[in-house]
């Protein structure tokens, strides 16, 4: 039983790992209409290469019986461990837990990956039904008194069992998980905890389903091509095709992304349309009607706060942060409050430049949030003599992936890639690659899912279908997902610079999963504190603009000519451009997250009060600026419904380590094999098998230094 899997899988954020489990009497029998054992691909371990999921055999009707059978088998295994008459040992208790729940793990890894990547109404119905059952299943395990007694005895004697450091740490982590799950509560308190967990599971599922449904329902319909002036022909054609798919022949549909800002805003000359798109985006989850998320969020926040106090913590943030590298809300508040004034000052300087551009063109209006991206590109063009659209012809998606992302990994780590066409995929655009070590041995399988679609949630993420483990003899099968708009048939997929950076970022998570070399599944790959997990992925972004890497992939998709040096130099010169905006919108979301989760139950705003609370939180946090909304407003802030509740600060926290690591690479010669080998051996391969900051210090040879981050963000 890998508890990290069960504590987060419902949220399905990558790395967003893990979910809960359940046990009710109804879950101990398989439904009468369940497929036969031989027909359900989850009932047996996959016979495909490296236990790769049999996507071609999986049908919607397989999920529910597999979940129910998986929970029943898991509970039987847990009962056998808990009621074992033999004295507890590391093997018969801890290793037993690690090996338990195989069927449940197989169906969970595929189901929750696909409800994010390629869902449908039947799967969403299963998700709604399974959410409270999985929550109850987890409670039945982690609140099992007999099982906890065995774990406690091992914990008391952990240093006298002859175990290596990883084995001792595994006992410690299991003990902590049981305590944090309520194992020490009274019987009455446990019953209340179970009720809270079940209700939260249902509400979180409803919230995430509303976000996906509404982002599709609120796609902006445009009547004429003239209104789309400024967009490329390929984007306009894609909008026309989207309209046709919605039976809106002759019109144009601009789909929304999950963030507050939307890609067309940087190019559209039609200010009224920019305003309509932006206001539509910001209104999500708070418009009233079937997708309104205010009530869901208010209830989740109140229940989380109650649960935290039941467990002896002041609030949900205190509960969550105790096991992160930050440790306390005060530490997070201090970091955010130290950065906010500098970021806001930079954003206001940038706003002044944008207003000058508006005024110089005779615009008789004050800069608004829907103007920011558009005039940022104008200022960029004026200041650096180029605009972002000039870059796209040099960023064809397959070329970026293979001659950029893969190339950098080969140069740094010696690994190579070969596309596999014999393994099934769940959607026609998905691709699979086998990854090899330098000696020719197989390292991992890598799945790439790059295109946006209505069945896919917004954003970008990594997940593991199979996690590395020496105990289980498993090698990694990991996946990266993005939401690049698919061009019309026959057209090349040209990416924005931001999308290129995102591809490198997500592959950093993939490397963390692929290089894992730990004994126990609990510690595999990205199973590290939430405010450490973004660190390796952010480091990997550096190679996107490393001269030798950029030169290798930034070639014109038609002519094959390299990006001109003058343009390349401008790309590098603009690295700090618009950082005030980027930092401010991020910090605003981070401060909002903390404000929502540092409340007692009585302080949680009602549904009607949420939007006003958000505005007050940004003002109190010193980050309120009308021209820069938070990257996510609370009603569509999926991160904090999933694995990043009270944890969105993690990106900036991790960036301290990231920026310091980039300096280490530069000091030691950059893209060199010996540097990659050191990073892999001391950090990327360790997963969660050691304390996160200790791993960093082993790699870096020093404590983290915040100065490189301040310089990068223009906050020094």
In angstroms, the Cα distances linking 610 to 317, 432, 448, 622, 647 are 18, 43, 38, 19, 19
Tens-place pLDDT, residues 170-206: 999 999 999 999 999 999 999 999 999 999 999 999 9
Question: Rounded to an integer, what distance in angstroms lies between the CA atom of residue 43 and that of residue 575?
Answer: 51
Q: How confident is the model at residue 38 (pLDDT cuts 50, 70, 90)?
A: low
Question: Residue 282: which pLDDT band, with cuts at 50, 70 and 90?
Answer: very high
pLDDT(157) > 70: yes
Positive or negative: CA dihedral 314, 319, 320, 326? positive
Q: Which residue in 306, 506, 534, 585 is the catalytic one?
A: 506
Torsion-angle region of 162 (φ positive above 0: left; ψ -120 to 50: alpha; else: beta): left
CA dihedral (322, 658, 437, 402) positive or negative: positive
3-state secondary structure of 432: strand
Residue 206 class from Cβ within 10 Å (0-12 exposed, 13-18 middle, 19+ buried)? buried
**Mean pLDDT over residues 611-625, rounded?**
97
Torsion of CA 321, 326, 332, 338, to 10 degrees: 180
What number is the average pLDDT over the span 12-25?
A: 29
Task: List 445's β-bridge partners, or say none.
Answer: 434, 477
Q: Determine contact, residues 515/446, Cβ cutoff 8 Å.
A: no
H helices present in 605-687, as ranges? 610-620, 638-641, 650-667, 673-679
Taking the C-alpha atoms of residue 24 and residue 55, their distance in angstroms, rounded to an integer, is: 29
CB 342 within 8 A of CB 715: yes
Percent of the chain with pLDDT over 90: 88
Distance CA 304, CA 11 (A): 15
Q: Which CATH architecture has domain 393-573?
A: Orthogonal Bundle (1.10)
Give the mean model confidence (pLDDT) for residues 216-223: 95
To the nearest 10 degrees (0 to 180), the angle between helices 579-597 and 650-667 is 140
Q: What is the pLDDT of residue 27?
A: 31
**Cα–Cα distance, 649 to 624 (Å, whole number):** 17
What SS3 class is residue 461? Answer: strand
DSSP, collapsed to helix, strand or coil, labels residue 46 as coil
The more confident residue out of 315 and 574 is 315
Tokens standing for 425? 């995929």
Give residue 576's pLDDT: 82
Q: What is the CATH number of domain 294-391+578-648?
A: 1.10.1370.10
- Average per-residue pLDDT for the chain: 93
In the predicted structure, residue 15 carries a pLDDT above the cut 80? no
What is the location of CATH 1.10.1370.10 in the chain? 294-391+578-648
Tell me which residue has tokens 């009547």. 223
C-alpha–C-alpha distance, residues 67 and 3, integer Å: 17
The pair of structure tokens assigned to 407 is: 């190339």
- Residue 501: pLDDT band (50, 70, 90) is very high
d(CA 194, CA 181): 10
Integer Cα distance of 611 and 596 in angstroms: 11
Beta bridge partners of 288: none
pLDDT one-digit tens code per residue, 558-594:
999 999 888 888 878 887 899 999 999 999 999 999 9
- What's the token pair of residue 594? 């903390």
Min mean pLDDT across 26-35, 264-273, 447-456, 485-494 is at 26-35
Q: Which two tokens stand for residue 639?
A: 């991160």
DSSP annotation string for 478-520:
EEEEEEEPPPSTTS--BPPHHHHHHHHHHHHHHHHHHT---SS
Whole-number pLDDT of residue 572: 80
Using the predicted structure, report yes or no on whether residue 9 has a pLDDT greater than 50. Answer: no
Q: Which residues neighbour 344 within 8 Å (Cβ) at sequence distance 6 or greater?
A: 580, 584, 622, 623, 625
What's the distance, CA 452 to chain centroid? 16
Q: Note whether 218 and 284 are within 8 A (CB).
A: yes
With a cut of 70, say whether residue 314 has pLDDT above it.
Answer: yes
CB 278 within 8 A of CB 266: no
Determine the Cα–Cα distance for residues 140 and 134; give it in Å rounded to an integer.
10
Q: What is the pLDDT of residue 26?
A: 30
Q: Contact 640/9 with Cβ under 8 angstroms?
A: no
Query: Using an 8 Å Cβ cutoff, are 402 and 417 in contact?
Result: yes
May I ask the CATH class of domain 3-142+144-180? mainly alpha
What CA–CA distance (Å, rounded) separates 157 from 691?
A: 20
| Residue ranges of the chain that CATH labels 1.10.1370.40 | 3-142+144-180, 393-573
Instruction: Output the CA angle 602-607-608, nearest 5 degrees.
Output: 105
Q: Answer yes or no: is pLDDT of 548 > 70.
A: yes
Percent of the chain exceeding pLDDT 70 equals 95
Lookup: tokens for 481: 């997902």
Q: What is the pTM of this model?
A: 0.90
* Residues 337 and 618 sit within 8 Å (Cβ to Cβ): no
Active site (annotated) includes residue 667? no
| Cβ–Cβ under 8 Å, residues 375 and 619 | no
């Amino acid at each position: 039983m890998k508890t990290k899997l069960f504590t987060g899988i419902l949220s399905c954020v990558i790395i967003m790992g893990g979910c809960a489990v359940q046990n009710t009497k109804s879950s101990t029998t398989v439904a009468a209409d369940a497929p036969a054992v031989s027909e359900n691909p989850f009932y047996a371990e996959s016979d495909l290469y490296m236990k790769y999921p049999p996507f071609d055999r999986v049908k919607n009707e397989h999920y529910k019986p597999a979940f129910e059978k998986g929970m029943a088998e898991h509970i039987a295994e847990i009962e056998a461990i808990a009621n074992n008459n033999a004295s507890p040992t590391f093997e018969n208790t801890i290793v037993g837990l690690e090996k338990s729940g195989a069927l449940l793990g197989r169906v969970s890894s595929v189901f929750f990956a696909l409800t994010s990547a390629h869902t449908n109404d039947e799967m969403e119905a299963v998700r709604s039904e399974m959410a409270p059952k999985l929550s109850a299943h987890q409670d039945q395990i982690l609140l099992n008194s007999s099982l906890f007694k065995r774990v406690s005895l091992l914990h008391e004697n952990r240093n006298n069992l002859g175990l290596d450091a990883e084995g001792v740490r595994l006992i410690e982590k299991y003990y902590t998980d049981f305590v944090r799950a309520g194992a020490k509560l009274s019987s009455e308190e446990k019953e209340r905890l179970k009720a809270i967990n079940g209700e939260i599971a249902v509400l979180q599922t409803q919230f995430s389903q509303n976000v996906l449904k509404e982002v599709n329902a609120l796609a902006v319909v445009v009547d004429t091509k003239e209104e789309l002036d400024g967009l490329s022909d390929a984007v306009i054609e894609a909008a026309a095709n989207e309209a046709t798919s919605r039976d809106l022949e002759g019109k144009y549909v601009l789909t929304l992304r999950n963030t507050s800002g939307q890609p067309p805003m940087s190019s559209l000359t039609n200010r009224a349309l920019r305003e309509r798109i932006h206001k539509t985006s910001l209104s999500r989850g708070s418009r009233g009607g079937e997708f309104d998320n205010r009530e869901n969020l208010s209830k989740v926040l109140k229940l989380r706060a109650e649960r935290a106090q039941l467990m002896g913590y002041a609030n949900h943030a205190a509960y969550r942060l105790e096991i992160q590298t930050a440790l306390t809300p005060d530490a997070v508040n201090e970091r955010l409050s130290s950065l906010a004034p500098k970021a806001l000052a930079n954003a206001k300087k940038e706003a002044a430049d944008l207003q000058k551009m508006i005024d110089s063109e005779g615009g008789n209006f004050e800069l608004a949030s829907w103007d920011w991206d558009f005039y940022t590109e104008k200022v960029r063009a004026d200041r650096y003599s180029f605009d972002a659209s000039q870059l796209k012809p040099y960023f064809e998606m397959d070329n970026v992936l293979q001659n950029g992302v893969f190339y950098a990994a080969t140069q740094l780590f010696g690994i190579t890639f070969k596309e596999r066409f014999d393994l099934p995929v769940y959607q026609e655009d998905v691709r699979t690659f086998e990854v090899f070590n330098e000696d020719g041995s197989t390292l991992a399988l890598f799945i790439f899912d790059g295109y946006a679609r209505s069945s896919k949630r917004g954003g970008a993420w990594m997940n593991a279908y199979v996690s590395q483990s020496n105990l289980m003899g498993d090698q990694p099968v990991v996946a990266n997902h993005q939401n690049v708009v698919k061009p019309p048939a026959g057209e090349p997929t040209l990416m924005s610079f931001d999308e290129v950076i995102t591809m490198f970022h997500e592959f950093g998570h993939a490397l963390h999963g692929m290089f894992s070399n730990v004994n126990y599944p609990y510690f595999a790959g990205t199973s590290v504190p939430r405010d450490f997990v973004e660190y390796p992925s952010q480091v990997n972004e550096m190679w996107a603009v490393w001269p030798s890497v950029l030169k290798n992939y930034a070639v014109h998709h038609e002519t094959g000519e390299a990006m001109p040096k003058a343009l390349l130099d401008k790309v590098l010169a603009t690295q700090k451009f618009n950082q005030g905006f980027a930092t401010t919108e991020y910090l605003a979301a981070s401060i909002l997250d903390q404000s929502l989760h540092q409340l007692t139950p009585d302080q949680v705003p009602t549904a009607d009060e949420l939007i006003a609370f958000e505005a007050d939180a940004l003002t109190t946090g010193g980050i309120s600026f009308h021209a820069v909304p938070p990257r996510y407003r609370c009603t569509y802030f999926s991160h904090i419904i999933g694995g990043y509740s009270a944890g969105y600060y993690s990106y900036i926290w991790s960036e301290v380590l990231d920026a310091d690591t980039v300096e280490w690479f530069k000091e030691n010669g950059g893209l060199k094999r010996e540097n990659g080998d050191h990073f892999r051996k001391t950090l990327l391969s360790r997963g969660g098998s050691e304390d996160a900051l200790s791993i960093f210090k082993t790699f870096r040879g020093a404590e983290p230094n915040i100065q490189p981050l301040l310089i990068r963000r223009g906050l020094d």
